[in-house]
Amino acid sequence: MSGSEPILSVRDLSAGYGAGRMVADVSFTLGPGEILCLVGESGCGKSTLLKAVMGTTPGLQVLSGEIILEGRSLLALPPRERQRICCDKFGLVSQSPGASFNPIRSYRKQFTETLKSHGKYDRNTFDAQVDEAFGKLSLNDRERILASCPYEMSGGMNQRIAFSLALLLGQDILLADEPTSALDATVQLQVAQELRRLRDVSGIAQIIVTHNLALAQFLADRIGVMYAGRLVELGTPEQVLGDPRHPYTRALIAAIPSLQGGMPVGLQGQPPLEGPADAGCEFCERCPVCRDGCAERRYAPIDAGGGHMTACGCADGGV
Ligand SMILES: Nc1ncnc2c1ncn2[C@@H]1O[C@H](COP(=O)(O)OP(=O)(O)OP(=O)(O)O)[C@@H](O)[C@H]1O
Ligand SMILES: [Mg+2]
């Protein structure tokens, strides 16, 4: 993690559907074995960012910026070559098990087909490899699982099986879009523990999109907060959740319901549907500390100390 070369560097990335820009000027790095959680309200561009990095979503274009994977600039490659490398290196796990797998086709068929399409199927070693991957995710009884179809499995089991496929494919970076949001609280915790274990035993780096700040606190080495397609705060959980600098992060934290009975402070309004603005701070209209000039001025992320990046000129620690 810190101190080692990043395996993924995203620099000033802007992306959108057609002419509409939905993600703007996003920069971050991911170290080997690092877990980055992306949080933010619905429509803030978390999934679009993940898909732009993965590069396999038709209609979603990178408009500017760079994506450097293991020292190689992905956007400089011919599209087919980029796609091949991304499918090899990135494992994508989505919220709904049905989106990761065909619900009515056995896992055995789907594992075999996927491994074949990646040129990684070996009939002689398949069972042993599956045993090893399943073992890392506390999945027992290979034959029973492989003979089952996804629709027969619980959401938590499905997610674990999807993670095990990423292990089998030898992918270095897991991109997971709300991998636990369809699960109940206890299963969420189990899946989160498995993700941590996956990192600990296999060194797989992860970018995980979640709406759950508590989950992000538990899982993440670093948390990135997105608002209107921009990364407005980035740092360790202690920095971002313990010492939030951006008023949007503060508002998100204040909006969490508490078990102690205190009513959360709701965040009024909603993020701009049109995505990032060309000029000015997008949070202005909802911001309690907005000053004259914020509507015209763009605050680029600056380091508030120890790599804690924040893009606000008005919050404590901003400039
Ligand atoms: N296929 C698409 N075509 C056009 N616009 C899209 C498409 N997918 C998403 N968008 C728009 O891009 C913006 C960002 O959406 P995105 O799905 O990335 O947000 P999100 O942060 O993942 O939200 P959620 O938490 O609800 O999943 C939204 O305004 C959305 O309407
Ligand atoms: Mg999303």
Nearest to 131 by CA among 141, 121, 123: 141
Interval between CA 5 and ligand 2 midpoint (Å): 29
Maximum C-alpha span of the chain: 68
pLDDT value, residue 228: 96
Among protein residues, the one with the nearest Cα to ligand 1's atom 8 is 48
Question: Closest by alpha carbon to 166, among 179, 155, 153?
Answer: 179
Give 46 Cα–ligand 2 centroid separation in angstroms: 6
**Cα-based torsion angle of the residue sequence 15, 17, 18, 19 in order, rounded to the nearest 10 degrees:** -60
Q: Once rounded to an integer, what is the mean pLDDT over residues 23-50?
A: 96
Q: Tokens 């995710």 map to which residue?
A: 137
pLDDT of the residue at 115 = 94
Does 262 or 110 have the greater pLDDT score? 110
Q: Could you tell me how far CA 37 lies from the centroid of its own chain? A: 6
- Whether 217 shows a pLDDT value over 70: the answer reads yes
For the CA of 53, the nearest ligand: 1
Answer yes or no: is pLDDT of 264 > 80.
Answer: no
User: For a substitution probing ligand 1, which of 13, 37, 48, 56 has the most ligand atoms within 8 Å of its CB?
Assistant: 48
Encoded amino acid at 195, one letter:
L
- Report residues whose beta carbon is within 6 angstroms of any ligand 1 atom: 17, 22, 40, 42-48, 59, 273, 275
Span between the terminal Cα atoms of the chain, in Å = 29
Q: How far is the CA of 47 from the centre of ligand 1 (A)?
A: 7
Domains of the chain: 8-257+265-310 (3.40.50.300)
User: What is the average pLDDT across 19-30?
Assistant: 94
Probe residue for ligand 1, chosen from 39, 46, 211 as the CB with the greatest number of ligand atoms within 8 Å: 46
The model's confidence at residue 318, banded by pLDDT at 50, 70 and 90, is very low
pLDDT tens by residue, 148-157: 999 998 877 8
Could you give the strand order of the β-sheet that contains 8-17, starting from the edge strand earlier in sequence?
A: 20-30, 8-17, 60-69, 72-73
Share of residues in the chain with pLDDT > 70 (%): 94
Banded model confidence at residue 194, pLDDT cuts 50, 70, 90? confident
Q: What is the pLDDT of residues 56-74, one digit of tens each?
A: 888 999 999 999 999 999 9
- Count of CB atoms within 10 A of residue 46's CB? 26
Question: Among 13, 22, 95, which is best to mutate for testing ligand 1, by the most ligand atoms less than 8 A from CB?
Answer: 22
Q: Is it the case that residue 276 has pLDDT exceeding 90? A: yes
Q: How far apart are CA 296 and CA 124, in angstroms?
A: 63
Ligand nearest to the Cα of 176, by number: 2
Query: Coil, strand, or helix at residue 195?
Result: helix
Average pLDDT over residues 142-151: 95
77-90 confidence digits (pLDDT tens): 998 999 899 988 99
Query: Each residue of 232-261: pLDDT tens digit?
Result: 999 999 999 999 999 999 999 988 877 666
> What pLDDT does 25 receive?
96
For the segment 272-296, the average pLDDT, to the nearest whole number, is 90
Query: Ligand 1 centre from 175 Cα, in Å?
Result: 16
Of the candidates 11, 55, 9, the one whose C-alpha atom is nearest the C-alpha of residue 34 is 9
| Alpha-carbon span 169 to 251, nearest angstrom | 40
Identity of residue 307? G
Give the pLDDT score at 112.
Answer: 96
C-alpha span between 301 and 25 (Å, rounded): 10
Q: Which one-letter DSSP state was computed for residue 228?
A: T
**Predicted structure pTM score:** 0.91
**Candidate from 43-47, 63-67, 267-271 with smallest mean pLDDT:** 267-271
The protein residue with its alpha carbon nearest to ligand 1, atom 5, reads 17
